Structure 1
């Protein structure tokens, strides 16, 4: 499995901070006796906090998982499985924030599971992914 390290630590920590801050804010607003904060207002604050925590959780769980059929890529907004034979090239050139797959239909797919913010580890993971793709493509063609 390919998962970013730095992004998980940062977003996981932020999710905890946001959850605690939201809970503290709701408790303080509900108990200070300040008028004007209805149950609907406090519920709205809770929903916004929950939405932020959900977004951070999704970011913390981006990954790429090799399976027998292909590579399952879970990014921030979507999850997609691409067959090994569909992957033409694995790119991780300078300036790219994460690995990019070139697909045989001319499309590209970002793999946020390998992020430049992880430095040397990210470069090793990109090479490992490229090697895995090459090996799976050879075995899929009967080489």
Structure 2
């Protein structure tokens, strides 16, 4: 019987550090470029009943879809001297080091969960579970920083 892969504690990394997805980050931007290009081409070559306002609306819709894809592509987790910033698709969360309790990611999770002293648990979309080794290394590095920088103390 083989032992499961248990991430070994890693030494804390130098600050500031930012974790971003690799390939999963490229996908939304490639699709955004294709959609905008398609919208522009469609607006140029669309049939006669469509007028200038219709063509502008087509390009604007392509731009709106590209913006939504940008929201998915900008996700990241940043750690600096003051704390951790989680930039997810719609919201950005900023916490100081004493507020951060732990980070965990079970096999099959889409991204890790970060627990905070106020009782919140927030997904860190900037670390993608689909990038198995890279995600495990990022979680181990973030966990080491949480241990080094001082978790919230029990009262």
* 2:13 equivalent in structure 1: none
SS in structure 1 at match of 2:125: strand
Higher helix share: 1
Q: Which has the higher contact order (CA 8 A, sep 6+)?
A: 2
Give unpaired runs (5+ residues) of structure 1.
none
TM-score normalised over the length of structure 1: 0.88
1:48 to partner: Cα distance: 1.0
Moved runs in structure 1, 4+ residues, more than 6 A?
none
Residue correspondence of structure 1 range 44-123 to structure 2 within 5 A: 44-123=57-136
2:35 aligned to which of 18, 26, 43: 18
1:95 to partner: Cα distance: 3.0
**Deviation string, structure 1 residues 95-134 (Cα, Å, up to 9, x no partner):** 3210110111111111111011112111111111111111
Higher strand share: 1
Count residues with an aligned counterpart.
Answer: 136
TM-score normalised over the length of structure 2: 0.81
Give unpaired runs (5+ residues) of structure 2.
1-17
Whole-angstrom CA distance in 2 between matches of 1:117 and 1:95:
8
Whole-angstrom CA distance in 1 between matches of 2:117 and 2:77:
19
Whole-angstrom CA distance in 2 between matches of 1:19 and 1:117:
27
